[in-house]
Structure 1
Amino acid sequence: MSASFPSLLHRLKRTSLVTQIILGLIAGIALALFAPDVAKSTAFIGKVFVAALKAVAPILVFVLVMASIANHKHGQETHIRPILFLYLLGTFAAAVVAVVASTLFPSSLVLSTQDVAVTAPGGIGEVLQSLLLSVVDNPVSALMNANFIGILAWAIGMGVAIRHAGDTTREVLGDLSNGVTLIVRLVIRFAPLGIFGLVASTLATSGFGALIGYAHLLAVLLGCMLFVALVMNPVIVFWKLRRNPYPLVLMCLRESGITAFFTRSSAANIPVNLELSKRLGLHEDTYSVSIPLGATINMAGAAITITVLTLAAVHTLGIAVDIPTAILLSVVAAICACGASGVAGGSLLLIPLACSLFGIPSEIAMQVVAVGFIIGVLQDSAETALNSSTDVLFTAAACLGEERKSLA
């Protein structure tokens, strides 16, 4: 028995992390089916894993971005601009896909007088003001509250300042970055156990019974996300790389999308994406900035959620939508998605803003938000998987695309 246990650990160590996560997923489903009472008690394991990811993400981003900029050599290229372009293009394209799908397959909602105790932004100006205030947030507050826009701003500022410091200071910063990265890798190794707890407890507690009544709406939402992940994004990557995009697309979905699906937080998935970017051999100076930035502004899944649920409300109320209004909705949804929070359910609070384009009162819009929370078990998981995996995908596409140009 004592000899077999080290052998088992050795086999697990040799097994890839993705395989271990899939095994944890299967074990979680089996436990929820055959022992639901026991499965409910595993919620704590999942909460600990997500909490650990959220704990390391802010300090990792701050230290890694600061160290990358401080140790950046003059003349060394970064590819932030093309990545930003891909982020914006992908988010807008996702909103357009959602408009088309909602027009072809309109959904109807059962709206009631249910109240939702949440506060939604009053307009695009308020969303942009909130983003600007996040940039100038107190650095300690930004780290404590996982305000990644503020963390990025301070990390970039400190990194630029420390570039003029002595070599010893920059070496210490580099060593600190390596130390934090080592801790992150340790946390990620517990992903299979965390996924097991999340899956088992979620299925045992919620099940899928509540989702049956919204099957059509869910089909449109998930169909749009699958289309963007497997068709639209590969087209964009092919345009950038001029080669078969699917090996890269499927790798990002498999190694980033799976963990994001169950953590339901783009912010919590930042360490996973940084580790994947490193294994893909991308420029550290590039991905250390683009990955946390993508967790805030690259929100194709959020744009789909905002658009589909808004147009479901529009169809339910019998409001006509013309082409200019549909285009405007796509733009607004893309802008709103960039302001969505990097936590579970962040995009739902921006639905009333999109509904206001059609004169839908906030009382009805908040009922649409309530519907979003009901289907959130699948909707938010799929949305986060698309958002987070696309961060790595577009970062890799931009870096590899620029390398292709330099070699041409």
Structure 2
Amino acid sequence: MKSLFNAWNKLSLILQIAIGLLIGIICAIALPKQLSFLSIFGNLFVGALKAIAPLMVFILVMAAIARHKSGVKTNMKTVIVLYVVGTISAGFVAVVGSFLFPQTLLLANSAEQVTPPDGIVSVLTTVLFNMVDNPITAISNANFLGVLVWALIIGVALRPASESTKNIIVEFSDAITMCVRWVIRFAPLGVMGLVFNSISTSGLGALKKYASLILLLVVTMLVVALIVNPLIVFITARINPYPLVFKTLGRSGVTAFFTRSSAANIPVNLELCKDLGLDNDTYPISIPLGATINMAGAAITIAIMALAACNTMGVKVDIPSAVLLIFLTALSAAGASGVAGGSLLLIPLACSLFGLPADISMQVVGVGFICGVIQDSCETALNSSSDVLFTATAELYNNRKNAIKKQINI
């Protein structure tokens, strides 16, 4: 048993997760009822990640800001530009895909219990109020925008503090990071439970009538992940982007796919950034910020679902309206994390651009919930993996190439 345990520890985390994934699939197919207890491992793993993530973000960001020395450059400006470009590009690809492969919907009345925002002003208002939420409440409710804002404010206030005070904060952040590493070591077991639960309980048969729509959503996200994002990396950093792309998809995308939570994946992304040797003045801020505003997958979902609704209702969409939709989806996707229900509840905003009534747009949201078994997993994987991708790209752009090149084997 000891030799087996040692052999297991010698395997890379990605290989361990792949083994857990395979075991979960086999168990779900062979003995779904007899082994139903396996799903608890997935729930425990996600629960632990969600529990530690808000406190970790608060401490790490506060420590990074407090110890930051004047004159030392960070990569945040470049990161934010890449987040914006990535989200707008995803919206563009989604609109083009919808024009090339138009979809229609079998509308479903399954969204009666949810309330969409009244308009883009409502979304922005929610975002602003989340920013000034009580910091204790923000941590307990996993309001990462509020956590990030207060961590920045308190971090700036602590910059004149004594070195001994800063050292205590840094040591505390190191302790939190160690706790996160302990949780991530259970990722193979957690992924096994998550995939077992998905395959054994999700009624995938109900998705057959929406197969064409789901295929367009998934293919569009793959195009962004494997073509558009690598192109952005190449143009920005002038390197072969694929070693970095595959590393972020393998480490971040896989766990995000099964947890279906950008918040739960923040610890995974921070650990990956550390393994890549990225600047610790940047990634403790860029990763939680990305989980809030870097929403390429959400932009794709909103644009494709809105245009499918237009096709269903016979509404003709002209080029200027399509261009406006691209920017609307990018803006509303950035506020998705501040709205209960995420990206699906922002579909009515896009539908209102074309004059579709609320009862129709909410039926489209209902279709989105049905497709969410696959759509939400792919969306989260794209969103979360690109947080690390663009953070690393910004650092490559700012001429810190050697250390990162070594880590990603460029």
Q: TM-score, normalised by structure 1?
A: 0.96
Q: Which amino acid aligns with 2:285?
A: V
Distance 1:375 1:115, change over 3 A: closer
Q: In 1, distance between residues paired with 2:261 and 2:339?
A: 5
Aligned runs of 1:79-94 on 2, under 5 Å? 79-94=75-90
Q: In 2, distance between residues paired with 1:279 and 1:229?
A: 21
Q: Which amino acid aligns with 1:325?
A: S
Aligned runs of 1:25-40 on 2, under 5 Å? 25-40=21-36
Distance 1:354 1:21, change over 3 A: same
Is the contact made by 2:112 and 2:362 (CA closer than 8 Å) also made in structure 1? yes
Q: Which moved more, 1:194-203 or 1:104-113?
A: 104-113
Match of 1:226 in 2: 222
Pick aligned residue for 1:212 from 201, 208, 211 = 208
Distance 1:178 1:15, change over 3 A: same
Match of 1:44 in 2: 40
Q: In 1, distance between residues paired with 2:173 and 2:338?
A: 23
Q: In 1, distance between residues paired with 2:81 and 2:108?
A: 41
Is the contact made by 2:67 and 2:166 (CA closer than 8 Å) also made in structure 1? yes
Q: In 1, distance between residues paired with 2:214 and 2:268?
A: 27
Is the contact made by 1:300 and 1:387 (CA closer than 8 Å) also made in structure 2? yes
Aligned runs of 1:107-146 on 2, under 5 Å? 107-146=103-142
Match of 1:152 in 2: 148
Aligned length: 403
Q: In 1, distance between residues paired with 2:42 and 2:401?
A: 44
Q: In 1, distance between residues paired with 2:273 and 2:338?
A: 19
Alignment pair present for 1:166 and 2:140: no
Is the contact made by 1:29 and 1:200 (CA closer than 8 Å) also made in structure 2? yes
Pick aligned residue for 1:268 from 241, 261, 264 = 264
Q: In 2, distance between residues paired with 1:110 and 1:64?
A: 46
Q: In 2, distance between residues paired with 1:114 and 1:289?
A: 38
**What is the CA-CA distance between 1:375 and the residue it aligns to?**
1.1
Q: In 1, distance between residues paired with 2:112 and 2:185?
A: 38
Pick aligned residue for 2:95 from 88, 94, 99 = 99
Is the contact made by 1:241 and 1:404 (CA closer than 8 Å) also made in structure 2? no
Is the contact made by 1:340 and 1:347 (CA closer than 8 Å) also made in structure 2? yes
**What is the CA-CA distance between 1:343 and the residue it aligns to?**
9.7
**What is the CA-CA distance between 1:243 and the residue it aligns to?**
1.4
Match of 2:294 in 1: 298
Match of 1:331 in 2: 327
Match of 1:378 in 2: 374
Match of 1:322 in 2: 318
Q: Which moved more, 1:110-119 or 1:186-195?
A: 110-119
**What is the CA-CA distance between 1:361 and the residue it aligns to?**
1.1
Match of 1:8 in 2: 4
Alignment pair present for 1:243 and 2:239: yes
Match of 2:190 in 1: 194
Q: In 1, distance between residues paired with 2:113 and 2:102?
A: 28
Is the contact made by 1:345 and 1:373 (CA closer than 8 Å) also made in structure 2? no
5+ unaligned residues in a row in structure 1: which ranges?
Answer: none
Q: Which amino acid aligns with 2:57?
A: V
Pick aligned residue for 1:178 from 174, 181, 187 = 174
Is the contact made by 1:344 and 1:380 (CA closer than 8 Å) also made in structure 2? no
**What is the CA-CA distance between 1:266 and the residue it aligns to?**
0.5
Alignment pair present for 1:364 and 2:343: no
Q: In 2, distance between residues paired with 1:198 and 1:343?
A: 25
Is the contact made by 1:266 and 1:343 (CA closer than 8 Å) also made in structure 2? no
Q: In 2, distance between residues paired with 1:186 and 1:10?
A: 17
Is the contact made by 1:99 and 1:326 (CA closer than 8 Å) also made in structure 2? yes
* Root mean square deviation, CA, Å: 1.6
Is the contact made by 1:267 and 1:342 (CA closer than 8 Å) also made in structure 2? no
Q: In 1, distance between residues paired with 2:89 and 2:76?
A: 20
**What is the CA-CA distance between 1:116 and the residue it aligns to?**
2.4
Distance 1:342 1:194, change over 3 A: farther
Match of 1:287 in 2: 283
Q: In 1, distance between residues paired with 2:375 and 2:75?
A: 32
Q: In 2, distance between residues paired with 1:294 and 1:350?
A: 19
Match of 1:54 in 2: 50
**What is the CA-CA distance between 1:115 and the residue it aligns to?**
4.5
Q: In 1, distance between residues paired with 2:5 and 2:388?
A: 30
**What is the CA-CA distance between 1:38 and the residue it aligns to?**
2.9
SS at match of 1:37: coil
Q: In 1, distance between residues paired with 2:358 and 2:338?
A: 23
**What is the CA-CA distance between 1:214 and the residue it aligns to?**
0.7
Is the contact made by 2:109 and 2:366 (CA closer than 8 Å) also made in structure 1? no
Q: In 1, distance between residues paired with 2:48 and 2:122?
A: 32
Is the contact made by 2:181 and 2:271 (CA closer than 8 Å) also made in structure 1? yes
Q: In 2, distance between residues paired with 1:242 and 1:188?
A: 32
Q: Which amino acid aligns with 2:321?
A: T
Q: Which moved more, 1:111-120 or 1:178-187?
A: 111-120
